[in-house]
Structure 1
Amino acid sequence: MMKQRSTRATLVRLAQFATASAAFALLAACGGGGDDNNSTPAGGVKLQVVSFGDSLSDVGTYAPVAASNFGGGRFTTNPGQVWTQNVAQYYGDTLKPAMTGGFGTAPAVQSGLGYAQGGSRVTNPIGIGHATTDPNNFTGTLTVPVAQQLTNYLASHGSFNAGQLVIVNGGANDILFNLQAVQAGQMTPAAATAAIGQAAIDLAGVIGKVVQNGATHVLVSNVPDIGTTPQGMMSSPTSRALLSQASLGFNQALAAALTQTGLMSKVIYLDIVPPLANITANAAQFGFTVSNTGTACNLQAMAAAAQKFGEPNPQAFATSLFCSPDTLTVAGADQTYMYADTVHPTTHLHALYAQTAEQTIAKSGLGK
């Protein structure tokens, strides 16, 4: 209980540093992007987007707290959008969160179809940033698993339809969670490898259930190579190699499971690893001045501000979720840096991620 009061107090006290950013985020949130027009969108076909996954696709689960106090709200350089929002706009839709809460606020069901949540694993409710081993404790991130996200959607909507594009990603938090357990001596490397592989198989099962329930357009994104993110680059060579190997292992297991179950031919599979490797190798050509060697958000300053106000875990605030224009490393870093924090893309990289997804979808024949 003391941690909850401390965290919420820190959020309130830090608000004075982000008043302008919060206003900026509010203006962005109140802007256009509605799907109430009849014009043909850029994607060539109008689709309603439904999204399941983790922080990479989270469109604002924690925004009521993060945005109101920091100008943050998503795991990127706020108020920028994440890639699933960009894809939704491409097909004439606006993707909003299906649930909000966390950080001491109980979950509240919303009207949006963005079910992805920062910290979520594939099936385990105790994800990255969840405060305790109690799945009903909301002092940290909610981390509703991807499998449960789908269950929640079906409970509310019954099924999918041909006018929808369903986006699914997941697995990165299973990789990080299990490797952290290895580093803490709580799990053997072999057990972690098995758990990560099982998470991939479980994600294939979620995708199968999506298809079984009527979805005809399903975009599946695999896991980026975490070893090539700033987190990997800042780690020892051994840890970096483990992150890359675990990412590759997850993706191989996911592709194998989709192939063995006959699902690969029924989904649009986005292998995001080669495009991101190309962007990293040719960062300047894509408009970046800093590739995977730095963060657009000044994480040290964000943690120091939290510590100044007595937060017992100041590093919890050193994440892009609480990043705003006021906390950027340099002005314009949302466009010139590839990564917002040690693992999450900036606004610019999210836009390139979305473009890659849109190109992959177009190759499938959708919208043409």
Structure 2
Amino acid sequence: MKTQRSTRAALVRFVQVATASAAFALIAACGGGGDDNNNSTPAGGVKLQVVSFGDSLSDVGTYTPVAAANFGGGRFTTNPGQIWVQNVAQYYGDTLTPAMTGGFGVAPQTQSGLGYAQGGALVTNPIGINHVSSDPANYTGALTVPVVQQLQNYLTAHGSFNAGQLVIVNGGGNDILYNFQLAVAGAITPAQASAAIGKAAIDLAGVIGKIVQSGATHVLVSNVPDIGATPQGLMVSAAQRALLTQASLGFNQALAAALTQTGLMSKVIYLDIVPVLANVTANFAQFGFTVSNTGTACNLQAMAAAAKKFGEPNPQAFATSLFCSPETLTVAGADQTYMYADTVHPTTHLGALYAQAAEQVVAKSGLGK
């Protein structure tokens, strides 16, 4: 097990090859772009404070102490671009920043932001993707505070929600990938994987229910994208791709059913992101992309190769958009011309389209424009 010092040293060695400029530190200051103190009407037609819970799709910078300062990364996208929840917050006149930072050799620190989502987080299991479970006190991996604990952390700090907030919830993608990988490895049966994924959906509905019970009147729930239709899905066999799609849709069906059965569906704003992304994939050129789900904007192979060259025991851990910067893009401008930053996370451009879809369903609910 590496110490905190050796972990950070390894990360710094990697950046000397993977990036070419020390100017990346300025990216750490890149936020949502809104001004919380001005009184002008934001683009969304109503000013809202945004609170966010979830996983890497909504992580606004948990791992910035290492990823931004040393790599020019910081979020799971084509950095320094924003992710979708930041765009939504900006649309309603807010700036969304992390509630906690740390991981990868840095002890967790509570921050003042309301972005509780963390890359690698599952719905209830604290041992998430890339979490070092054998020695969590060293923080050599991702923090992966589960969504259920994210909510508890918010309630401990703030007590309740209010009518001036838009609470965004996503989750389940890591539960799908985690159980899928276990099933492929033969550690569990496909039936056990399906049951675990379904339980995660029901658990997420329980989290949403507690959010509503705690005073939230505007709750935006995004279901899980079809992972089988991402570059990750194209990397595996056709049979495994079908299982990823089946697992994604199964989670979404279980989540929708649980919300309906508990009477919550009428109390939340539900974003079905699957048809939105399917439409973009089918018509990618019309949306300004040159590459759909067949490639990644970040040069993942080169990033992993550089880490391997410097002796990293798990170089593939660096093959993620969390460490992606303009200098590690596959081609210049790929943040706008590719749909996906890495095998599952949207680029800046696709994240903006994701945000637009969210803003549209919020507007249809009668809130803002």
TM-score of the superposed pair, with normalisation by structure 2:
0.97
Deviation of 1:19 after TM superposition, in Å, equals 2.8
Compare 90-99 and 309-318 and name the one that shifted more. 309-318
Q: Kindly provide the CA deviation profile for residues 10-35 of structure 1, in whole angstroms up to 9, marking residues without a partner as x.
A: 21123333535514514634x84221
Contact 1:19 1:70 in 2 (8 A): no
Looking at structure 2, the residues matched to 279 and 260 of structure 1 have their Cα atoms a distance apart, in angstroms, of 31
Identical amino acids, percent of aligned pairs: 82
Structure 2: stretches of 5+ with no match in the other structure = none
Q: 1:144 maps to what in 2?
A: 145
1:153 counterpart SS class: helix
Matched residue count: 367
Q: Which amino acid letter does the alignment assign opposite residue 237 of structure 1?
A: A
Q: 2:161 maps to what in 1?
A: 160
TM-score of the superposed pair, with normalisation by structure 1:
0.97
Q: Which amino acid letter does the alignment assign opposite residue 82 of structure 1?
A: I
Looking at structure 1, the residues matched to 91 and 258 of structure 2 have their Cα atoms a distance apart, in angstroms, of 30
Contact 2:161 2:214 in 1 (8 A): yes
Change (3 A) 1:353 1:21: farther
2:57 counterpart SS class: coil
Question: Residues 175-186 of structure 1 correspond to what in structure 2 (within 5 A)?
Answer: 175-186=176-187
Contact 1:18 1:70 in 2 (8 A): no
Deviation of 1:41 after TM superposition, in Å, equals 0.2
Looking at structure 1, the residues matched to 143 and 29 of structure 2 have their Cα atoms a distance apart, in angstroms, of 26
Question: Residues 337-348 of structure 1 correspond to what in structure 2 (within 5 A)?
Answer: 337-348=338-349
Looking at structure 2, the residues matched to 249 and 268 of structure 1 have their Cα atoms a distance apart, in angstroms, of 20
Contact 2:3 2:105 in 1 (8 A): no
| C-alpha RMSD over aligned residues | 1.4
Q: Which amino acid letter does the alignment assign opposite residue 349 of structure 2?
A: H
Q: 1:8 maps to what in 2?
A: 8
Contact 1:220 1:270 in 2 (8 A): yes
Compare 306-315 and 217-226 and name the one that shifted more. 306-315
Contact 2:28 2:74 in 1 (8 A): no
Change (3 A) 1:284 1:201: same
Q: Kindly provide the CA deviation profile for residues 327-365 of structure 1, in whole angstroms up to 9, marking residues without a partner as x.
A: 000000000000000000000000000000000100000
Question: Residues 251-270 of structure 1 correspond to what in structure 2 (within 5 A)?
Answer: 251-270=252-271
Deviation of 1:3 after TM superposition, in Å, equals 6.4
Q: 1:129 maps to what in 2?
A: 130
* 1:25 pairs with 2:27: yes
Structure 1: stretches of 5+ with no match in the other structure = none
Looking at structure 2, the residues matched to 84 and 285 of structure 1 have their Cα atoms a distance apart, in angstroms, of 24
Contact 1:126 1:134 in 2 (8 A): no
Question: Residues 301-340 of structure 1 correspond to what in structure 2 (within 5 A)?
Answer: 301-340=302-341
Change (3 A) 1:62 1:125: same
Q: Which amino acid letter does the alignment assign opposite residue 320 of structure 2?
A: T
Q: 1:112 maps to what in 2?
A: 113
Deviation of 1:136 after TM superposition, in Å, equals 4.5
Q: 2:43 maps to what in 1?
A: 42
Q: Kindly provide the CA deviation profile for residues 103-159 of structure 1, in whole angstroms up to 9, marking residues without a partner as x.
A: 111110000000000000000001111022555552100000000000000000000
Q: 1:101 maps to what in 2?
A: 102
Change (3 A) 1:269 1:32: closer
2:270 counterpart SS class: strand
Give the 4+ runs in structure 1 shifted more than 4 A.
3-6, 133-137
Q: Which amino acid letter does the alignment assign opposite residue 110 of structure 2?
A: V
Looking at structure 2, the residues matched to 134 and 361 of structure 1 have their Cα atoms a distance apart, in angstroms, of 42
Q: Which amino acid letter does the alignment assign opposite residue 222 of structure 1?
A: N
2:291 counterpart SS class: coil
